[in-house]
Amino acid sequence: MPALVLLGAQWGDEGKGKATDLLGGSVDYVVRYQGGNNAGHTVVVGDQKYALHLLPSGILSPGCTPVIGNGVVVDPSVLLSELSGLNERGVDTSKLLLSGNAHIITPYNVTVDKVTERFLGKRKIGTTGRGIGPTYADKINRVGIRVQDLYDESILTQKVEAALDVKNQVLTKLYNRRAIAVEQVVEELLGYADKLAPYVSDTVLVLNQALEEDKVVLFEGGQGTLLDIDHGTYPFVTSSNPTAGGACTGAGVGPTKISRVIGILKAYTTRVGAGPFPTELFDEDGEALRRIGGERGVTTGRDRRCGWFDAVIARYATRVNGLTDFFLTKLDVLTGWEQIPVCVAYEIDGKRVEELPYSQTDFHHAKPVYEMLPGWTEDISKAKTFGDLPKNAQAYVKALEEMSGAPISAIGVGPGRNETIEINSFI
């Protein structure tokens, strides 16, 4: 059994952390392949709750080697404080592998993220302010700083100079900010070099050798399909590829190695930040989903926008990721509604549309077409098998499966590791 990808099928926060942790005990490596500390993945083990931002959720499974791949953008101060936070709680982090090719989020990238958002005003994206977009921009512009640059002071200095040459002009002349000193940045970055050194390695080689030895590798996506820079609701997206193909480029593993792509799908929909969201609710149902589902951002503490399940989006996620399975999460949150609306199609300018429109204008005008499914009132948090679920909950899952285009192989009925109904085994 070679490589599996586990990714968000909606706009992030689907429960990827919980799903990854659940599989952590049966896999040898868990790899983050894109994004950075914009992610916030929650794992609940017994009475302990962990919020992971940069580290793969597999770090909590003792037999598993956690890997930060080349496609990730790394804020060294966040990484080091996340590691020490886990160490203080007794988690062994010594096996972590960090790609020398991963790009570094520098202090000026964080500044540019915040300043750009402020200047966009009401057109802002609502980023997490962690410097993600500007760091990927530097990577594509070929003025990025990589982890390996921390080990050559001369190269590091030249690269920081090159990056700041232009940025300082923009910061001072356009945004009215103070210039950032090259020496200060270089000194700060060099300060991380020794602390990160034990983890830095050629992760592409390690992962490919592991696959040759039939080890099981799990790729854990950050964000979600609709936040993908190519396939999401551009420009209201993140600056990387959370979709399945991103696992190949972000870890240096060929697509022929990937046998399973699992989409994590919330039983309703949420979104943080700006951008279109056809099934968004502005009434007491939306408020109830937020309250019962605890829908508050793990990274920024912002309230998440909430709405009903959108099957058009789920079908789209199946297609662009080649999903083989879904892991449906948070079904328990829907307990208590007499009827549950599910969006089966959109109405755009008076026409019924079954698939996600590629045009931004159309998507902004999309109105959900709802089908009402009967709800249930029984507590489902103790359900262990599909048969333990009330008939209407079973019918809800089956209806979603039919509309979404891939089998639902697991169902989350609570945040804990064991609060899961496993239908088809993933490994």
| Residues with a known catalytic role | 13, 41, 139
Is 336 annotated in a binding site? The answer is: no
Q: Does 220 bind Mg ion (CB under 5 A)?
A: no
Look at strands 339-348 and 367-374 and give their pairing: antiparallel
CB under 5 to 8 A by kind: which of ligand GDP, Mg ion, ligand IMO, none does 10 bind?
A: none
Q: Applying CB under 6 A, does 231 fall inside the site for ligand IMO?
A: no
Of these partners, ligand GDP, ligand IMO, Mg ion, none, which one is at the site of residue 132 (CB under 5 to 8 Å by kind)?
Answer: ligand IMO
Give 223 or 321: the residue with its C-beta nearer to ligand IMO: 223
Nearest position to ligand IMO, beta carbon:
273
Q: Under 8 Å CB-to-CB from 74, ≥6 apart: which residues?
A: 36, 54, 68, 98, 102, 103, 104, 105, 147
- What is the C-alpha to C-alpha distance for residues 174 and 141, in angstroms, rounded to an integer? 20
**Which residues does 290 contact at the CB level (< 8 Å), separation at least 6?**
296, 303, 304, 306
**Omega into 276 within 30° of 0, i.e. cis?**
no
- In DSSP notation, 9-38 reads SSSS-SSHHHHHHHHHTT-SEEEE-S--TT
Residue 96 binds ligand IMO (CB under 6 A)? no
Cα gap 261→251, rounded to integer Å: 15
223 interacts with, out of Mg ion, ligand GDP, ligand IMO, none, CB within 5 to 8 A per kind: ligand IMO
40 near Mg ion, judged by CB under 5 A: yes
Which C-beta is closer to ligand GDP: that of 160 or that of 413?
A: 413
The least CB distance from residue 311 to ligand GDP, in Å, is 19
Residue 168 to residues 130, 232, 407, Cα–Cα distance (Å): 19, 31, 51
The entry of ligand IMO, Mg ion, ligand GDP, none that residue 413 binds, CB within 5 to 8 Å by partner kind: ligand GDP
| Smallest distance, ligand GDP to C-beta of residue 421, A | 10
The annotation status of 118 as a binding-site residue, yes or no, is: no
Query: In terms of CB distance, is 49 or 173 closer to ligand GDP?
Result: 49
Which residue in 132, 163, 248, 253 binds ligand IMO (CB under 6 A)?
A: 132
Residues lying near ligand GDP in the complex (CB under 6 A):
8, 12-18, 40-42, 44, 294, 298, 329-330, 332-333, 412-415
Return the CA Rg of the chain: 22
3-state secondary structure of 203: helix
Which residue lies nearer to ligand GDP by CB, 225 or 329?
Answer: 329
CA nearest neighbour of 334 among 376, 287, 390, 271? 376
* CA torsion, ordered 137, 143, 149, 152, to nearest 10 deg: -170
Q: Which is nearer to ligand GDP, 203 or 270 (CB)?
A: 270
CA angle 355, 360, 365 (to 5 degrees): 75
Alpha carbons 139 and 421: distance in angstroms, whole number: 41
- The residues of the shown chain that bind ligand IMO, judged by CB under 6 A, are 8, 12-13, 38-41, 125-128, 130, 132-133, 222-224, 227, 238-239, 272-273
- The residues of the shown chain that bind Mg ion, judged by CB under 5 A, are 13, 40, 298
List the binding residues for IMP.
13-16, 38-41, 128, 142, 223, 238, 302
